[in-house]
A and B are shown apart, each in its own frame.
Chain A
Amino acid sequence: GENVEQHPSTLSVQEGDSAVIKCTYSDSASNYFPWYKQELGKGPQLIIDIRSNVGEKKDQRIAVTLNKTAKHFSLHITETQPEDSAVYFCAATPGSARQLTFGSGTQLTVLP
């Protein structure tokens, strides 16, 4: 089955700096890669996703890049704000309607 590894497990940045979180996956059949933000006591919230037919996707301050050959995908957050502080999870699946395999999460802290 799929295995997703996520790094780093914790990340602290100064407000206004950029944050990068990286994931690798094992199953070459995976073709859908969502990123979730989870705040304390809440369920994961989808923030951006990418499919394997594109290499990069951007939505305002958030971008995701995908390298299918290396089986890597990354989340980039620019101009970080304190409200970006949360746990971020990457995930992979062979189909957007199939079960997701999650990484172990990154605790992002944005220092004011």
Chain B
Amino acid sequence: DTGVSQDPRHKITKRGQNVTFRCDPISEHNRLYWYRQTLGQGPEFLTYFQNEAQLEKSRLLSDRFSAERPKGSFSTLEIQRTEQGDSAMYLCASSSLRDGYTFGSGTRLTVV
């Protein structure tokens, strides 16, 4: 296992378009998290899955954002009708009771 993988690494999209990001966690980790990081700031929590159940959502996660983890393995984060304010690094992390968090390298979204 090579850690948490995120795809794509970079995404440029026009305002109003929909985008989808994928995260593949460490295989034995049952917890998966999405965070958003803007320039010069620490990551901010968006949402959290335990297996396939979405257990927590931040108020940052507007109606235009949806996340899924259909089989308790990989997860997707979709942003509909993107806005310039959505430009950020989207980070995925996974963890288990035994292990701490492991972050992926992130997907950098630029909305033009």
Binding site for B on A (CB under 8 A): 4, 6, 34, 36, 41-46, 49, 89, 91, 96-105
Contacts and interface: CB of A to CB of B under 8 A. Distances in A.
Contacts of A44: 43, 91, 103
A46 B97 CA distance: 16
Interface residues of B, number: 25
15 contacts: A42-B105, A42-B106, A43-B4, A45-B103, A46-B102, A91-B42, A97-B96, A99-B33, A99-B48, A99-B58, A101-B45, A102-B42, A102-B43, A102-B44, A105-B42
A82 B71 CA distance: 43
A43 B95 contact: no
A104 B39 CA distance: 10
B42 A43 contact: no
A45 B103 CA distance: 7
Given A97-B95, A97-B96, 16 more contacts: A42-B105, A42-B106, A43-B91, A43-B93, A43-B103, A43-B105, A46-B100, A46-B101, A46-B102, A96-B95, A96-B100, A96-B101, A99-B45, A99-B56, A100-B101, A105-B40
Contact of A34 (B6, B33, B100): B100
Nearest to A41: B105
Contacts of A96: 95, 97, 100-101
Interface string B37-56: 00011111100100000001
Contacts of B42: 4, 6, 89, 91, 102-105
